[in-house]
Amino acid sequence: MKPTYGGVSRYGIVALASSLDQAGPCARDVMDTALLHAVIGGHDPRDSTSINKPVPDVVAAALNADVRGMKIGVIKQLKGEGFQAGVLERFNQSIEILIELGAEVIEVSCPHFEYALGAYYLILPSEASSNLARFDGMRFGIREDDGKNRSVEEVMSATREKGFGAEVKRRIMLGTYALSSGYYDAYYGQAQRIRTLITRDFADAFSHVDVLVSPTAPTTAFKIGEKLDDPLAMYLNDIATIPVNLAGNCAMSLPIGRAPEDGLPVGLQIIAPPMADHLLYQVGSALESALADRWGGLLISEAPTL
């Protein structure tokens, strides 16, 4: 579960990208997630991004589990080319279940979502390069010092070389370049403009529907380390969840079965407007209950390949 940006305090969490970071609950089922969300949510004066509003009644929404009369939008741009056949098969089956439960399902278009991946991987590295600058061996983090008479710059360089992994270094370098003199407007500034367009796409979609749905990822899980030599392929797996993060909306990823071709779990993403987190629990709980009935009361971790 990714709450609305600012809905859960980030106080005490190491910042990666300040305009994107959001803490949220993760549990075995929707109700457990709602119970945890109710505890950790709410305003925190120690977090400057925290929203000073009460947490929606997510527990009551999870208990409600009724989608009759709700309008659910299927995002046109997140269900086609590039998505694994088994992922789409389970996703379409879940849509049919929601219709059986009484929801009205319509297709909506979010035309600027195709630019979300590029915008995200400019904004996140740019903010990360700034936030992670504090881990220099002088103020925060480890210190790599061999005891010899080294300059401050040499200690900082050795510390950051040892303390950051390859992917972190890659993002710091990308972000530093995007923020450099002469490139700020062309890269970071342009990415922020695209972010605004994506937020408008969401606003337009939510003027027609209560929640949006899509697959959580275009494929099932790849093997550990499989895509390390091809970072772009790894980044492409974020294509369905990145727009939500850019806009600051809330979203939930719900297991909906296993792909026939590899037997691995498939997720369905439910998206709601800001501060409408309760709608996620209402839809998620209804779908989870319907799927559990089909699996004989089993959770996704125990369920057979459909």
Residues 171-216 have pLDDT tens digits of 999 999 998 878 888 899 999 999 999 999 999 999 999 999 999 9
For the entire predicted model, the pTM comes to 0.91
- Report the relative pairing of strands 265-272 and 250-258 from DSSP bridges: antiparallel
User: What angle, rounded to 10 degrees, do the helices at 30-40 and 277-294 form?
Assistant: 160
Predicted local confidence at residue 301, as pLDDT: 57
> Is the per-residue pLDDT at 148 higher than 90?
no
> Is the per-residue pLDDT at 304 higher than 70?
no
State the Cα–Cα distance between residues 281 and 248, nearest whole angstrom: 18
Q: Where are the beta strands (DSSP E) in 182-249?
A: 211-215
> Is the per-residue pLDDT at 302 higher than 70?
no
> Is the per-residue pLDDT at 287 higher than 90?
yes
State the Cα–Cα distance between residues 183 and 177, nearest whole angstrom: 7
**What is the per-residue pLDDT across 35-53, written as a single tens digit (0 to 9) for each?**
999 999 999 999 999 999 9
| For the chain, domain boundaries | 30-109+195-294
According to CATH, what is the number of the domain 30-109+195-294? Answer: 3.90.1300.10
State the Cα–Cα distance between residues 216 and 214, nearest whole angstrom: 6
Predicted local confidence at residue 229, as pLDDT: 80
Q: Are 249 and 271 in contact (CB under 8 A)?
A: yes
Q: What is the mean pLDDT of the chain?
A: 91
- More confident: 304 or 76: 76
**What is the per-residue pLDDT across 91-105, written as a single tens digit (0 to 9) for each?**
999 999 999 999 999
State the Cα–Cα distance between residues 258 and 20, nearest whole angstrom: 30
Contacts (Cβ under 8 Å, ≥6 apart) of 271 = 202, 211, 212, 213, 214, 244, 249, 250, 251, 280
Q: 227 falls in which pLDDT band (50, 70, 90)?
A: confident
* DSSP conformation class of 268: E
